[in-house]
């Protein structure tokens, strides 16, 4: 099988961890790099988490340096959702892999040049690294094969009425990406929420015997408790839904439309404006997730966990 060169830009993050659990066993992927970005936690922690996750899951690739803050705004963390380490109760051993001194944006450009029209960048954190790559190497837009993101929403937000965390923490970066000329496959939180699992679904997964059962329980049990803290029955594993929707392309339905990012309004700052009715008559720049299949999502997780023996 011809493998797809992939770079996963991430801010681990409990749901990032679950997304990487899925990606690590996807036979179609040739994972070239994990490119950490400050988001759920400060850069030092997400960098260490990405290295520890790569070691735990046997992802044999570089873990680069990356953006330590948003382009303009002060950093906002999601520590209430992901905990002080970023991975809930999951404690990973320090990775002994050689430290890669290269930066995310330089590696993205290197891999895009080596694989013209084929590199798939999967961004499941704030878009700071991707935006810097576009500004530093404008020709990267013509070299990237596909850009998929977890971010934004055609409806409600989670960090403000319309602001979803990955976009809201660095909307200037997101605006650069959506206005770059790239076609963005956008797994927004409203579309992902249609794959919301119940607490029973989580227990079905957490009870599965597999080689990473303890690590998964340490991460997901914290996520469930955090969800109860913000009034939800169970968390939506946004990054895992995104990765599952990339692995099983039948899982999510999309609409094609023009999307922009609000960077001025006080009330809608950080909102993705998805013009699904084409009122602006602009050329579409995004495929926006609208409806997913929760049972298919759960099956992707269960079938993947069975590969961890
Ligand atoms: O809003 C959900 C997104 O924000 C996910 O990527 C989660 O990991 C956090 O980064
Ligand atoms: Ca994330």
- pLDDT per position as a tens digit, 102-137: 999 999 999 999 999 999 999 999 999 999 999 999
Range list of H helices, the chain: 14-24, 43-57, 79-82, 104-114, 128-136, 165-168, 171-178, 189-193, 199-206, 213-229, 238-247, 294-305
Distance 124 CA to ligand 1 centre (A): 7
Pocket perturbation via mutation, ligand 1, pick of 239, 245, 272 by most ligand atoms within 8 A of CB: 239
Asked whether the predicted pLDDT for residue 184 surpasses 90, the reply is yes
Q: What is the pLDDT of residue 194?
A: 98
Contacts of 201 (CB under 8 A, 6+ apart): 234, 294, 298
Is-above-0.95 flag for pTM? yes
Q: What is the pLDDT of residue 296?
A: 98
Average pLDDT over residues 216-245: 96
Quickly tell me which residue has 């995104």 as its tokens. 242
Q: Where are the domains of the chain?
A: 4-305
* Domain 4-305 coded CATH 3.90.245.10: yes
Q: Retrieve residue 72's tokens.
A: 């303009």
8 A C-beta contact, residue 153 and residue 187: no
| Residues in contact with ligand 1 (CB, 6 Å cut-off) | 11, 13, 15-16, 39-40, 78, 124-125, 150, 158, 164-166, 189, 238-239
Asked whether the predicted pLDDT for residue 1 surpasses 90, the reply is no
DSSP letters along 99-139, please?
A: PP--BHHHHHHHHHHHSTTT-EEEE-S-SHHHHHHHHH-GG
Nearest to 151 by CA among 134, 133, 171, 137: 171
Q: What is the pLDDT of residue 124?
A: 99
| Arithmetic mean of pLDDT over the chain | 97
Residue range 145-169, pLDDT digits in tens: 999 999 999 999 999 999 999 999 9
Average pLDDT over residues 65-76: 97
Q: What is the pLDDT of residue 93?
A: 87
């Amino acid at each position: 099988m011809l493998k797809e060169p992939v770079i996963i830009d991430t801010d681990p993050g409990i749901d990032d961890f679950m997304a990487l659990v899925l990606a690590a066993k996807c036979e179609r992927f040739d994972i070239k790099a994990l490119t950490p970005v400050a988001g759920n936690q400060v850069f030092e922690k997400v960098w260490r988490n990405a290295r520890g996750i790569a070691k735990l899951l046997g992802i044999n690739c570089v873990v680069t340096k990356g953006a330590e803050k948003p382009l303009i705004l002060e950093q906002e963390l999601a520590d209430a959702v992901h905990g002080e380490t970023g991975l809930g109760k999951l404690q990973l051993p320090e990775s002994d892999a050689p430290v890669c001194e290269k930066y995310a944006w330089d590696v993205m450009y290197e891999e895009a040049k080596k694989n013209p029209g084929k590199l798939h960048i999967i961004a499941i954190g704030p878009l700071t690294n991707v935006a810097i790559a576009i500004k530093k190497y404008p020709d990267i837009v013509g070299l990237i094969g596909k850009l998929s993101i977890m971010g934004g929403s055609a409806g409600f937000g989670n960090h403000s009425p319309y602001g979803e965390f990955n976009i809201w923490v660095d909307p200037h970066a997101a605006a650069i990406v959506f206005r770059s000329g790239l076609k963005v496959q956008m797994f927004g939180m409203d579309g992902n929420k249609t794959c919301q699992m119940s607490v029973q679904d989580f227990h079905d997964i957490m009870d599965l015997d597999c080689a990473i059962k303890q690590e998964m329980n340490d991460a997901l049990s914290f996520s469930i408790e955090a969800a109860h803290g913000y009034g939800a029955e169970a968390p939506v594993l946004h990054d895992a839904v995104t990765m599952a929707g990339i692995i099983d392309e039948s899982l999510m339905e999309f609409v094609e439309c023009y999307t922009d990012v609000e960077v001025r309004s006080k009330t809608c700052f950080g909102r993705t404006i998805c013009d699904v009715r084409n009122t602006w008559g602009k050329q579409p720049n995004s495929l926006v997730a609208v409806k997913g299949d929760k049972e298919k999502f759960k099956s992707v997780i269960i079938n993947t966990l069975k590969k961890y023996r």
